[in-house]
Structure 1
Amino acid sequence: MVAPDVSVYEAAGGEAGMLALAHAWHERVLADEVVAHAFSHGYDPHHTQRLAAYWGEALGGPPTFTDAYGTESDVVRMHSGNGVHEEMDDRAAACFDAALDDVGLDGELRTTLHAYFAWATRTTMAAHPDSPEDVPDGLSVPRWSWNGLVAA
């Protein structure tokens, strides 16, 4: 069992752990015939670093993402306006689980990280299928702990 005073971010290896996980996930999704479609029109060359910073912030790490890259509203807008895509979401989650294997994360940490990714993929990132213009300003990166979503 993980000590309750250790954040999910710290237990996953901090900044280096998030970067390794983001890299492993990105490699997995680019190799997946369904999920890769989301990247078919190109992507920021710093996608992996941005993703690692985002996950790190969401999982109890420093506010690197919001300090350097943008807001939750920006992230949700990037993922909005693409219709409902449950198969892609399911396959992205399967890629995430495989990435957890790739970087050697297991046990309670794996369960917690899987729960976070599944929740984020199917809620906040899928909340506005019709248009990015539907996303409100002022959203904050949701925080996730060993017990799930942290109340704002």
Structure 2
Amino acid sequence: MTGSTGEGRTSVFEYAGGTPAFQALAAALHERCLADPVLNHPFSHEGQHPEHVQRLGTYLAEVFGGPPAYTQTCGTHFGMLDLHARMGADDDLGERFVRCFVLACDDAGLPADPEFRKALRDYMTWAAGDVMQYSPQDSQVPIDVRMPHWTWEGPR
């Protein structure tokens, strides 16, 4: 069990195992997405940043309470959303991504604690919806969107 809510509780980032855990999760998620017939295309295209997996791990770590390495070295939440915007993605893309994420948590050996897994799943469900809302070709991502920060209880 993850412990009671309050000041003595570790962050989701710390409970997961820190940066190495989120890098393992990003690698496992990438592999899961490459194996999915719908997600394969956006995860295997040539324009993908050569450090995509590392950046994904850094992004997820920051979201869950880790160091602000993504925003300090890779960009903003606006940049991430804008990169994924206007793709005209299939309606089930977000659901497929969340399924791959949940399975990747097992692949990466993250703690199986139900409260921990719920926090991860709740974030990714929210995040997939956040990305998918900008999928239509005429979408404009607001420049002032802020980096999400997720705790045991949800968004902070």
Would you say same fold, with TM above 0.5? yes
SS of 1:19's equivalent?
helix
Distance 1:121 1:37 in 2: 17
Shift of 1:24: 0.4
Preserved CA contact (<8 Å) 1:77 1:133:
no
Q: How does 1:27-106 map to 2 (within 5 A)?
A: 27-42=31-46, 43-105=48-110, 106=112
Residue pair 1:77, 1:132 contacting (<8 A) in 2 also = no
User: Relative to structure 1, is the Cα distance of residues 84 and 48 closer, same or farther in structure 2, using a 3 angstrom cutoff?
Assistant: closer
Distance 1:132 1:66, change over 3 A: farther
Instruction: Quote the offset at 1:26 in angstroms.
Output: 0.3
Which of 127, 146, 154 matches 1:140? 146
In structure 2, what is the Cα distance between the partners aligned to 1:61 and 1:23? 18
Q: Contact conserved, 2:30 with 2:43, CA < 8 A, in 1?
A: no
* Structure-1 separation of matches of 2:58 and 2:103: 20
Q: Check the 8 A contact 2:85/2:136 in 1, yes or no.
A: yes
> 2:92 aligns to what SS in structure 1?
helix
Q: Which moved more, 1:129-138 or 1:76-85?
A: 129-138
In structure 2, runs of 5+ residues without a counterpart are none
Q: Identity across aligned pairs (percent)?
A: 39
Quote the residue 2:121 is aligned against: 114
Contact 1:80 1:132 in 2 (8 A): no
The amino acid that maps onto 2:39 is: V
SS at match of 1:86: coil
Residues 68-119 of structure 1 show CA distances to partners (whole Å, capped at 9, x for unaligned) of 0000000000111012533111111111111011122312211211111111
Deviation at 1:132, TM superposition (A): 7.6
Give the total of aligned pairs: 149
2:28 maps to 24
Partners of 1:133 and 1:87 in 2: CA distance: 18
**C-alpha RMSD of matched pairs (Å):** 1.6
CA contact (8 A) 1:112 1:146 kept: yes
Q: Distance in 2 between matches of 1:44 and 1:84?
A: 20
- In structure 2, distance between residues paired with 1:128 and 1:99: 25
